[in-house]
């Protein structure tokens, strides 16, 4: 999530300006808790904790739901935010095209890759079931792979085709790709770093290090049949390739520009997500679709010209 440092986001910054609420966030980063459990750990009354919870929820940092407990209904709390990038200066932020630019957007399901080469641990899951068997790369060729909402592999790559509607009269100026992604560890490991490479038309645009494979807290959209002890969600990341370089969540990761990518009019773009075996942090890839993880979206692509 990207946050501009301005008055419209003041409620979030105010919510963070409290030692008690920071302690609550630290606890919820490890597990989901109800009001009573947090009150006991903080040695505070449930009424005071409830007020802090309301402030965190209004700021969009946590979300709550009523669940059945031993003593009736209880308010269960969990983190809504995984990461937040603060944008202090907007005048030079390359995130959005100018108003005189044209653009179009496409949504690509994570299961609709067109090429792959993966090694275990690996697998695919739809919204309702596993697709094939775990740790058998042959099932990545199963026709049902287009229904996958969660795919994972320890090394290798998957590649997607992005439609290119440009003609010889127009040039692509910005390519923006948003997706939910993380590392892939056996089971899961919150501190499992992975160097993930992103390529467009065989051009390496940048490498980003995922901090972990997240499984301690169930994803907000993760189906109930998906067992605990496995990967639950990723991080929402935004890759932006412009005429000034390649950015991840507004941070410059490489000097590769959109002009450095061989793009032919009317020819589709090939977007590859890769975890090389020889990477310093060879930690695999986990991808999530609109019905899995924390974010209700597929791979979102915006092309400006």
Task: Indicate the average pLDDT of the chain.
Answer: 91
Is the model's pLDDT at 96 over the cut of 60? no
| Overall average pLDDT of the 74-87 stretch | 84
Residues facing 67 on adjacent strands? 74
165 CB neighbour count, 10 Å cutoff: 12
pLDDT tens for 156-199 read: 999 999 999 987 778 899 999 999 999 999 999 999 999 999 99
**What is the rounded distance in angstroms from the CA atom of residue 142 to the CA atom of residue 150?**
15
Phi-psi map region of 272: left, alpha, beta (phi>0 left; psi -120 to 50 alpha): beta
3-state secondary structure of 7: helix
- What pLDDT is recorded for position 235? 96
Residues 168 and 266 in one domain: yes
| Whether residue 150 sits in one domain with residue 58 | no
For residue 2, pLDDT beyond 70: no
Within-domain flag for 88: no
For 142, the 3-state DSSP assignment is coil
> Any idea which of 2-6, 75-79, 137-141 has the lowest mean pLDDT?
2-6
pLDDT mean over 240-265? 95
CATH number, residue 108: 2.60.120.260
Report the phi/psi class of residue 60: left, alpha or beta, with left for phi > 0 and alpha for psi in -120 to 50: left
pLDDT tops 80 at residue 99? no
Task: Decide if 89 is inside a domain.
Answer: no
Percentage of the chain modeled with pLDDT above 70: 94
pLDDT at 145: 98
Tokens of 247: 């950015």
Q: Is the dihedral of CA 14, 238, 194, 132 positive or negative?
A: positive
66: in domain:
yes
Q: Which residue has the higher pLDDT, 64 or 11?
A: 64
Q: Could you tell me if 212 and 301 are in contact, meaning their C-beta atoms sit under 8 angstroms apart?
A: no
What is the CATH number for 7? 1.10.10.10
H or E segment to which residue 162 belongs: strand 150-162
Q: What does the pLDDT read at residue 7?
A: 67
Establish if 213 belongs to a structural domain: yes
pTM over 0.75: no
Average pLDDT over residues 125-154: 98
Q: Which of residues 67 and 24 earns the better pLDDT score?
A: 24
Please state the separation of Cα 250 from the chain's center in Å: 15
Number of structural domains found in the chain:
2
Give the domain extent around 10: 2-79
Strand partners, 158: 116, 273
User: Which pLDDT belongs to residue 1?
Assistant: 59
Residue 227 CB contacts under 8 Å (≥ 6 apart), including other chains: none
**pLDDT score, position 91:** 43
62 near 15, Cβ under 8 Å? no
The token duo for 288 is 């999530």
pLDDT over 90 at 14, yes or no: no
Last residue of a domain, one of 18, 52, 79: 79
**Residue 36 in contact with residue 46, Cβ under 8 Å?**
yes
Which pLDDT does position 101 carry in this prediction? 65
């Amino acid at each position: 999530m990207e946050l501009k440092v301005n008055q419209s986001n003041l409620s979030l910054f105010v919510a963070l300006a409290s030692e008690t609420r920071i302690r609550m966030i630290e606890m919820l980063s490890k597990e989901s808790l109800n009001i009573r459990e947090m009150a006991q750990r903080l040695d505070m009354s449930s009424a005071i904790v409830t007020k802090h919870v309301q402030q965190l929820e209004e700021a969009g940092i946590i979300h709550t739901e009523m669940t059945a407990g031993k003593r009736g209904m209880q308010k269960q709390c969990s983190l809504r935010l995984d990461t937040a990038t603060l944008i202090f200066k907007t005048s030079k932020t390359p995130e959005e095209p100018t108003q005189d630019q044209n653009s179009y957007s496409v949504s690509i399901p994570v299961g609709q890759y067109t090429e792959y080469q993966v090694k275990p641990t690996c697998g695919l899951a739809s919204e309702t079931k596993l697709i094939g068997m775990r740790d058998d790369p042959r099932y990545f060729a199963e026709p049902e792979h287009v229904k996958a909402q969660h795919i994972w592999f320890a090394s290798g790559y998957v590649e997607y085709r992005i439609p290119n509607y440009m003609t010889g009269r127009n040039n692509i100026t910005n390519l923006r790709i948003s997706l939910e992604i993380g590392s892939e560890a056996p089971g899961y490991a919150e501190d499992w770093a992975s160097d993930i490479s992103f390529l467009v038309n065989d051009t390496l645009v940048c490498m980003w290090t995922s901090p972990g494979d997240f499984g301690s807290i169930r994803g907000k959209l993760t189906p109930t049949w998906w067992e605990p002890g496995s990967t639950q969600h990723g991080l929402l990341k935004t890759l932006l390739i412009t005429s000034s370089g390649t950015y991840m969540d507004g941070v410059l990761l490489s000097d590769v520009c959109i002009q450095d990518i061989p793009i032919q009019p009317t020819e589709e773009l090939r977007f590859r997500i890769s975890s090389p075996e020889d990477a310093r942090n060879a930690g695999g890839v986990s991808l999530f679709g609109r019905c899995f993880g924390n974010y209700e979206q597929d791979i979102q692509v915006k092309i400006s010209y």
